[in-house]
Amino acid sequence: ICPFDSINERSEIDEVKAAIADPNKIVVFQTAPAVRVGLGEEFGLDAGTFVEGKMVAALRKLGGDYILDTNFGADMTIMEEASELLERVINSDAVLPQFTSCCPAWVKFAETFYPEFLPNLSTAKSPIAMQAPTQKTYFAEKMGLDAKQIVAVAVTPCTAKKFEIRRDEMNSSAEYWDVSEMRDTDYCITTRELAKWLRAEEINFDELEDSAFDPLMGEASGGGIIFGNTGGVMEAAMRAAYKLATGEDAPQTLIPFEAIRGMDGAREADVVIGDKTLHVAAVHGTGNLRKFIERMRAENIHYDFIEVMACRGGCIGGGGQPRVKLPMADKAREARIASLYTRDAEVQVKAACDNPDIQKLYAEFFDGKPMSHKAHHMLHTTFVSRAEDLGPNGACTPATCPTSV
């Protein structure tokens, strides 16, 4: 479909296998929220089957030393992003709306086609990009590991993450340890690539006994779980923002946040937090996004917070997920989304700020609170205009493709 044939997957499984075989390396996997509701489809299970336990067991069987959960990183992103939003809303000089920035395809799309929105992008890094440097600093220190030996591998539904992990800014752990050769995330493999690897190793996925994530960075709130679907980042942010601003649990109008759920291209709602009413929206798909922005500008609509995910349905429909042929694609997406919401309904802790492991991390490592000097240095990032990468007449090129590696 891409006119330049620039959308492809460059597998890094051989590099990960070499790290596993090296006795001087410690391989730490993290797994994104959407992988666990897609991976089973590669092994004949129904769309959306929740296979978290088998996924963790499979990564242990492949030789991972530690298996951690990107959902924990999603809780970190929410802590920073919700706090940043509250600061922007309180400060009358701040730039609004705040756009989410956890989708690297949307970030590159904005850098290329809408550089005027760069001040609007949340500076909070994505879940993978927060989890990774925290693994090589906080986790390494707590576990007595040599950070230089850690090989960090992200398992994701996303081909654009292969680009994100190589951005110059993703090197906070190297700055922390004052070394030059360290990257926060070393490799990224997709859900489909993981399935291919498991088949090549002749691992019987069905027969794997469930395994649990390793502690410290393996438990997440419901907010972290639903990060994998369109509207989930918004819902998670509103739960945390409400609690952080008022000290009270988010009300039933926010859990579940029905107004922002579903597959419509753009959904919006008003959220009352203390004495403020925030106008928020969630958009998925770049086609929907262009229409949304045109309407926002034409009708001069004020928004406070806008979630943007480039893939239809959010990360559960990412480019690295199992492929489902039309006309069943939306049915599969909806089944994956329903599976994440079911899991969210099962867990007790709904908001990132109530996650005990998140509270411990901030108390012991990030100077007690989100947006602290240390948190800002390690967990926030910057953006660059790529408008000059556009081809003749503003056409896209391989350099501007949001999902090329």
Residue ranges binding ligand SF4 (CB under 6 A):
103-105, 157-158, 160, 309-311, 314-315, 318
Number of neighbouring beta carbons within 10 Å of residue 236: 30
Number of neighbouring beta carbons within 10 Å of residue 387: 14
The residue among 72 and 365 lying less far from ligand SF4, judged by its C-beta, is 72
Find where tokens 């480039």 sit: 310
Residue 67 CB, nearest distance to ligand SF4 (Å)? 20
Distance from the Cα of residue 65 to its chain's centroid: 22
Could you give the CA distance from residue 50 to residue 21 in angstroms, rounded to a whole number?
A: 30
The residue among 104 and 223 lying less far from ligand SF4, judged by its C-beta, is 104
Q: In 193-293, at which residue ranges do the beta strands (DSSP E only) sit? A: 266-273, 276-284
Could you give the CA distance from residue 371 to residue 380 in angstroms, rounded to a whole number?
A: 9
Selected catalytic residue, list 12, 80, 84, 111: 84
The residue among 136 and 162 lying less far from ligand SF4, judged by its C-beta, is 162
Instruction: Please answer whether residues 131 and 217 qualify as being in contact, where contact means their C-beta atoms are separated by less than 8 angstroms.
Output: yes
The residue among 57 and 233 lying less far from ligand SF4, judged by its C-beta, is 233
Selected catalytic residue, list 164, 193, 219, 307: 164
Residue 392 CB, nearest distance to ligand SF4 (Å)? 26
The residue among 80 and 354 lying less far from ligand SF4, judged by its C-beta, is 80
Residue 195 CB, nearest distance to ligand SF4 (Å)? 16
Could you give the CA distance from residue 400 to residue 405 in angstroms, rounded to a whole number?
A: 10
Q: Determine the residue with CB nearest ligand SF4.
A: 318
The residue among 68 and 105 lying less far from ligand SF4, judged by its C-beta, is 105
Selected catalytic residue, list 41, 101, 102, 188: 102
Q: Are strands 98-99 and 66-69 parallel, antiparallel or unpaired?
A: unpaired
The residue among 175 and 334 lying less far from ligand SF4, judged by its C-beta, is 334
- To the query of whether residue 169 is one of the catalytic residues in this protein, the response is yes
- To the query of whether residue 175 is one of the catalytic residues in this protein, the response is no
Selected catalytic residue, list 188, 315, 396, 401: 315
Residue 321 CB, nearest distance to ligand SF4 (Å)? 8
- To the query of whether residue 126 is one of the catalytic residues in this protein, the response is no
β-partners of residue 98 are 305
178 secondary structure, DSSP code: T
Selected catalytic residue, list 12, 41, 52, 81: 81
Selected catalytic residue, list 9, 169, 268, 334: 169
Instruction: Please answer whether residues 186 and 166 qualify as being in contact, where contact means their C-beta atoms are separated by less than 8 angstroms.
Output: no
- To the query of whether residue 315 is one of the catalytic residues in this protein, the response is yes
β-partners of residue 309 are 284
Residue 273 CB, nearest distance to ligand SF4 (Å)? 26
What is the per-residue DSSP string for 59-97?
HHHHT-SEEEEHHHHHHHHHHHHHHHHHHHHH-TTS-SS
Residue 103 CB, nearest distance to ligand SF4 (Å)? 3
Residue 107 CB, nearest distance to ligand SF4 (Å)? 9
Could you give the CA distance from residue 395 to residue 113 in angstroms, rounded to a whole number?
A: 10
Q: Which helix (H) or strand (E) holds 29?
A: strand 26-31
357's tokens: 């492991």
- To the query of whether residue 81 is one of the catalytic residues in this protein, the response is yes
Contacts of 383 (CB under 8 A, 6+ apart): 101, 107, 110, 111, 118, 121
Selected catalytic residue, list 161, 162, 243, 350: 161
Residue 152 CB, nearest distance to ligand SF4 (Å)? 18
Selected catalytic residue, list 122, 126, 172, 339: 122
- To the query of whether residue 180 is one of the catalytic residues in this protein, the response is no
The residue among 140 and 236 lying less far from ligand SF4, judged by its C-beta, is 236
Look at the chain and count its residues: 405
Residue 143 exposed, middle or buried by CB count within 10 Å (0-12, 13-18, 19+)? middle
Catalytic residue set: 81, 84, 102, 122, 161, 164, 169, 315
